[in-house]
């Protein structure tokens, strides 16, 4: 059967190879790395500049965190309120437990309208449920209208960033894609198209204008959903969002249940956090808000699909749920030294980068090779957590998920790490034993006149082929203590704290994942929060009305 | 920098054109100048647009359409420019907020034409997003849709280089009155 839209690459994302294997072809692609480096360094600088402009930026982040935490803690209440308000506003509300249900609901609505073409605003959640392909299978063409998504769709490609999905493409590649593909699916690109971004954008404008004008049905996601007014918010730049939200007769919006905020007042915080964190602008060019059907203006049939797709399960996990605060700004990926070098594709998910590594395995479960490897796709440098506008402790969550991977797959591929950890546990459990290990290591160190070991037989080679192994200290700390402080107060008080002493501290990796809670919990910036100067603090639980009563 | 200067500065940063006018005579002169600058042949206005803002445009040979009864989208797509009022301006972010009351019109009329001329009263301009949200609470309560506009349509999708002008109006003119 002939396809209606360009085919994406074959295969499913969840079948991607483990991260460490998947990155190899990308690491070898110099063009890709150059594109990414340029893009991420540009946006990092912009973000840093505009966040520094607000003296209360840190307070804003804390309040953003509080608003999202509060909503998630009372999510059933706010979801019910949101549904009630939407219905009062003339919208039709649908609930979808998973991707399959969501696609079926949307397909049915489109089919009932008797159309075979829809336009779509860029939306991560529609990528997550693979809506385009579900519609294509039912003979409905779903057109991406965001410029970057259009580049990806016409390029038979997959997005590699949640904010700038074609971040991996440069202007020459984009020109080629437009010249080759636009003519197959609508208004062709002008033959003399050059690689100037301005002209490339103009070609997209021309190509999509016809589609906007004739579309009867549009599909969108939502950046925020305001529970107490039944309002949806779309934050965008190009105006394709406004086109989709305004021109067609029917609008279908799908949103993850975590996108709620209690009341309109909370947007004062969110609409400062998101644009500055995302594109590094003081404000994005266009933000649209609508509350159901507006008589005589815009779509007169409005549907809202509320999607779970794993979120309910994540919410039950008191540690993992912090990820649900995410507002999809992409600041973490632009900051990440790993993402910057490999791009989004090796993450095997529509959510790449640091946030993807903690979100995807939780939404999909830790069963596939890629999902088990994602928590390890990090150096734990912490740059992501420093910029996150809602203070998601991504490194802590990575460590937590590594622990879960090990726990849930004890007999799996991490058998060796397990044995090493067990060995270390045995050695450290008793003071006497630990002392002996220290002595032994010192002995070995003194016997070999080396600073570093450059080669070890397997399995030690797994370490030494990438790095040298520092020799243990020649004398243990206990020995030093005895010599220098022996007989003093606290005699014999050193009881083998990990990290002290000369025990062959095998791979740093071995230190994480062993603790139940050691690494999870407040980082240095996470002090208690009090409302910043201009920001009304979050107040009022579900019983006494929604958040931000204006300090009344 | 005071509120109005900040507002102007931010909008210029987005490549919008900003001008100050006192009184309807100056407003209509600016409207005409901007329309001629983009060589607009047609102008659409919302139902309750202040007629004094477009004095002289018809005489200058510009066709004027009133979106009442509602115009077809094909007609609007061929219309060169739109003039609207606004509900709130935000200085800190260079933002105009339309809540689409009768002097601003349906969402579509300020979307399809390539040039948007927006008249905002100096007294409507607040400093921060927080103040704006407070002012706009009544619009949300009245179930009005809202469009927040910060500069002309733009994208950073190609190599993160900002380009003005994709799907929305490529020219944004802002007249601060009073």
Residue B165: helix, strand or coil by DSSP? coil
For B101, which residue in chain A has the nearest alpha carbon?
A297
Distance from CA of B132 to the nearest CA of A (A): 8
C-alpha A547/C-alpha A544 separation (Å) is: 9
In a domain, A537, yes or no: no
With 0-12 / 13-18 / 19 or more C-beta atoms within 10 angstroms meaning exposed / middle / buried, residue A504 is: middle
H or E stretch including B146? strand B146-149
State which of A457, A485, A502 marks the end of a domain: A502
Cross-chain residue pair A198–B163, CB shorter than 8 Å: yes
Q: What is the pLDDT averaged over residues A221-235?
A: 98
- Name the pLDDT band for A412 (thresholds 50, 70, 90): low
In a domain, A519, yes or no: no
Query: Does the structure show a pLDDT above 50 at A538?
Result: no
Q: What is the pLDDT averaged over residues A457-462?
A: 83
Q: What is the pLDDT averaged over residues A173-186?
A: 96
Enumerate residues 6+ apart whose C-beta is below 8 A from A520: A319, A393, A396, A397, A399, A400
Same domain, A435 and A303: no
Residue A307: helix, strand or coil by DSSP? strand
C-alpha A160/C-alpha A168 separation (Å) is: 7
With contacts defined as CB-CB under 8 Å, which chain B residues touch A198?
Answer: 163, 165
Residue A472 is predicted with a pLDDT of: 85
Distance from CA of A83 to the nearest CA of B (A): 15
Cross-chain residue pair A201–B163, CB shorter than 8 Å: yes
**Nearest CB to A286 within list B74, B134, B149:** B149
Q: What is the pLDDT averaged over residues A454-478?
A: 85
Query: Does the structure show a pLDDT above 60 at A48?
Result: yes
Instruction: Give the CATH number of the domain where residue A28 resides.
Output: 3.40.50.10420
Sign of the dihedral defined by the CA atoms of residues B48, B53, B56, B59, in that order: negative
Q: How many domains does chain A have?
A: 2
Residue A400 is predicted with a pLDDT of: 98
| Residue of A286, A298, A334 to mutate for B, most B C-beta atoms under 10 A | A286
With contacts defined as CB-CB under 8 Å, which chain A residues touch B94?
Answer: 282-283
* Residue A236: closest CA among A174, A342, A148: A148
A240: contact with B, CB 8 A cutoff: yes
Q: CA dist A11 to A27, A141, A158, B78, Å?
A: 21, 20, 11, 44
Which has the higher per-residue pLDDT, B155 or A511?
Answer: B155
In a domain, A141, yes or no: yes
Same domain, A299 and A437: no
Q: Are A106 and A112 in contact (CB under 8 A)?
A: no
Which has the higher per-residue pLDDT, A506 or A246?
Answer: A246
Cross-chain residue pair A89–B108, CB shorter than 8 Å: no
C-alpha A472/C-alpha A445 separation (Å) is: 6
Residue A143 is predicted with a pLDDT of: 98
With contacts defined as CB-CB under 8 Å, which chain A residues touch B111?
Answer: 239, 242-243, 246
pLDDT in tens, A139-162: 999 999 999 999 999 999 999 888
Query: Does the structure show a pLDDT above 60 at A352?
Result: yes
A212: contact with B, CB 8 A cutoff: yes
Q: What is the pLDDT averaged over residues A362-377?
A: 96
Chain A contacts in chain B segment 105-144 (CB below 8 A): 106-108, 111, 128-130, 132-134, 136-137, 140-141, 143-144
Distance from CA of B22 to the nearest CA of A (A): 27
Enumerate residues 6+ apart whose C-beta is below 8 A from A552: none
Residue A486 is predicted with a pLDDT of: 73
In a domain, A514, yes or no: no
Residue A382 is predicted with a pLDDT of: 97
pLDDT in tens, A209-224: 999 999 999 999 999 9
For B76, which residue in chain A has the nearest alpha carbon?
A213
| Residue of A43, A50, A242 to mutate for B, most B C-beta atoms under 10 A | A242
State which of A312, A329, A353 marks the end of a domain: A312
A96: contact with B, CB 8 A cutoff: no
- Name the pLDDT band for A414 (thresholds 50, 70, 90): low
| Residue of B150, B167, B172, B174 to mutate for A, most A C-beta atoms under 10 A | B167
- Sheet of A117-120, strands arranged across: A92-96, A301-307, A250-256, A217-220, A117-120, A141-144
pTM score: 0.85
For A203, which residue in chain B has the nearest alpha carbon?
B166
C-alpha B98/C-alpha B88 separation (Å) is: 7
Same domain, A305 and A449: no
In a domain, A295, yes or no: yes
- The mean-pLDDT minimum among A10-24, A66-80, A450-464 falls in A450-464
Q: Give the count of Cβ contacts less than 8 A between chain A and B.
A: 181
Q: Are A400 and A323 in contact (CB under 8 A)?
A: no
| Residue of A197, A199, A210 to mutate for B, most B C-beta atoms under 10 A | A197
Instruction: Report how far apart the first and last C-alpha atoms of chain B are (Å, whole number).
Output: 18
Average pLDDT, chain A: 88
Q: What is the pLDDT averaged over residues B144-156?
A: 95
In a domain, A181, yes or no: yes
In a domain, A240, yes or no: yes
For residue B80, give both structure tokens. 């060169």
Distance from CA of B133 to the nearest CA of A (A): 6
Residue A464 is predicted with a pLDDT of: 85
Strand ranges inside A138-247, DSSP E: 141-144, 217-220, 224-226, 231-236
For B97, which residue in chain A has the nearest alpha carbon?
A287
pLDDT in tens, A277-292: 999 999 999 999 999 9
- Name the pLDDT band for A410 (thresholds 50, 70, 90): low
State which of A487, A502, A517 marks the end of a domain: A502
Distance from CA of B173 to the nearest CA of A (A): 14
- Name the pLDDT band for A343 (thresholds 50, 70, 90): very high
With contacts defined as CB-CB under 8 Å, which chain B residues touch A205?
Answer: 165-167
Instruction: State which residues form the domain around A461.
Output: 430-502
Q: Are A218 and A118 in contact (CB under 8 A)?
A: yes
Enumerate residues 6+ apart whose C-beta is below 8 A from B82: B43, B44, B45, B105, B109, B110, B113, B115, B116, B117, B169
**Nearest CB to A286 within list B133, B147, B163:** B147
Distance from CA of B165 to the nearest CA of A (A): 7
Chain B contacts in chain A segment 31-90 (CB below 8 A): 35, 38-39, 42-43, 89
In a domain, A347, yes or no: no
Residue A526 is predicted with a pLDDT of: 38
Chain A contacts in chain B segment 20-59 (CB below 8 A): none
Same domain, A434 and A304: no
C-alpha A245/C-alpha A299 separation (Å) is: 7
**Nearest CB to A283 within list B93, B160, B168:** B93
Q: What is the DSSP letter of B108?
A: G
A284: contact with B, CB 8 A cutoff: yes
């Amino acid at each position: 059967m002939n396809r209606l839209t360009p085919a994406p690459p074959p295969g499913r994302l969840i079948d991607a190879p483990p991260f460490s294997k998947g990155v190899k072809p990308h690491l070898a692609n110099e063009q890709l790395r150059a594109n990414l480096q340029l893009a991420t360094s540009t946006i990092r600088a912009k973000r840093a500049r505009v966040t520094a402009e607000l003296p209360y930026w840190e307070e804003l982040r804390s309040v953003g965190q509080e608003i999202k935490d509060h909503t998630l803690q009372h999510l059933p209440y706010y979801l019910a309120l949101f549904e009630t308000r939407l219905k009062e506003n003339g919208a039709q509300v649908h609930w979808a437990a998973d991707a399959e249900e969501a696609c079926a609901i949307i397909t049915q609505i489109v089919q009932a309208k008797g159309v075979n073409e829809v336009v779509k605003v860029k939306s991560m959640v529609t990528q997550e449920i693979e809506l385009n392909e579900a519609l294509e299978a039912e003979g409905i063409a779903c057109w991406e209208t965001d410029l970057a998504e259009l580049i990806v769709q016409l390029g038979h490609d997959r997005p590699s960033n949640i904010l700038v999905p074609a971040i991996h493409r440069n202007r020459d590649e984009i020109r080629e894609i437009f010249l080759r593909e636009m003519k197959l699916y609508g208004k062709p690109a002008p033959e003399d198209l050059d690689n100037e971004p301005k002209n490339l954008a103009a070609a997209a404008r021309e190509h999509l204008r016809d589609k906007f004008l004739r579309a009867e049905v549009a599909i969108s996601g939502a950046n925020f959903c305001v529970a107490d007014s039944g309002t949806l918010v779309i934050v965008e730049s190009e105006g394709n969002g406004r086109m989709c939200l305004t021109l067609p007769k029917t609008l279908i919006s799908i949103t993850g249940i975590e996108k709620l905020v209690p009341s309109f007042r909370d947007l004062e915080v969110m609409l400062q956090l998101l644009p500055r964190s995302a594109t590094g602008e003081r404000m994005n060019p266009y933000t649209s808000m609508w509350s159901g059907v507006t008589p005589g203006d815009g779509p007169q049939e409005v549907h809202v699909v509320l999607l779970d797709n794993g979120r309910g399960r994540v919410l039950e996990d008191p540690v993992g749920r912090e990820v649900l605060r995410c507002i999809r700004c992409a600041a973490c990926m632009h900051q990440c030294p790993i993402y910057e070098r490999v791009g989004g594709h090796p993450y095997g998910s529509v959510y790449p980068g640091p946030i993807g590594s903690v979100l995807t395995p939780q939404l999909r479960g830790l069963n596939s090779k890629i999902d088990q490897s994602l928590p390890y796709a990090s150096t734990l440098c912490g740059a992501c957590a420093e910029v996150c506008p809602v203070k998601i402790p991504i490194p802590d969550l990575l460590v937590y998920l590594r622990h879960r991977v090990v726990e849930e797959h004890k007999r799996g591929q991490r058998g060796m790490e397990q044995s090493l950890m067990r060995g270390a546990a045995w050695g450290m459990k008793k003071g006497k034993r630990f002392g002996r290990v220290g002595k032994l290591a010192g002995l070995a160190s003194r016997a070999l006149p080396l600073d570093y070991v450059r080669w070890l037989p397997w399995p030690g080679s797994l370490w030494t082929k990438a790095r040298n192994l520092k020799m243990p200290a020649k004398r243990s700390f206990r020995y030093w203590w005895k010599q220098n402080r022996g007989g003093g107060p606290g005699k014999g008080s050193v009881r083998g704290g990990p990290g002290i002493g000369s025990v062959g501290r095998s791979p740093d990796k071995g230190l994480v994942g062993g603790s139940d809670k050691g690494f999870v919990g407040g980082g240095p910036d996470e002090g208690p929060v009090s409302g910043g100067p201009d920001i009304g603090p979050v107040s009022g639980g579900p019983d006494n009305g929604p958040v931000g009563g204006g300090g009344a | 920098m005071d509120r109005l200067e900040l507002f102007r500065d931010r909008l210029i940063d987005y490549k919008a054109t900003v001008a100050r006018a006192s009184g309807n005579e100056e407003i209509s002169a600016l409207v005409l100048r901007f329309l001629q600058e983009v060589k607009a042949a047609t102008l659409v206005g919302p139902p309750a647009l202040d007629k004094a803002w477009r004095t002289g445009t018809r005489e200058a040979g510009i066709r004027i359409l009133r979106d009442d009864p509602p115009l077809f989208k094909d007609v609007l797509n061929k219309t060169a420019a739109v003039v609207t009022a606004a509900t709130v301006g935000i200085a800190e972010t260079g933002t105009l907020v339309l809540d689409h009351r009768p002097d601003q019109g349906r969402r579509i009329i300020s979307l399809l034409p390539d040039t948007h001329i927006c008249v905002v009263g100096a007294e409507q301009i607040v400093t921060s997003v927080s103040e704006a949200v407070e002012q706009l609470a009544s619009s949300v309560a009245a179930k009005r849709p809202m469009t927040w506009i910060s500069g002309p349509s733009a994208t950073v999708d190609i190599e993160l280089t900002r380009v003005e002008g994709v799907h929305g109006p490529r020219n944004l003119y802002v007249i601060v009155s009073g």
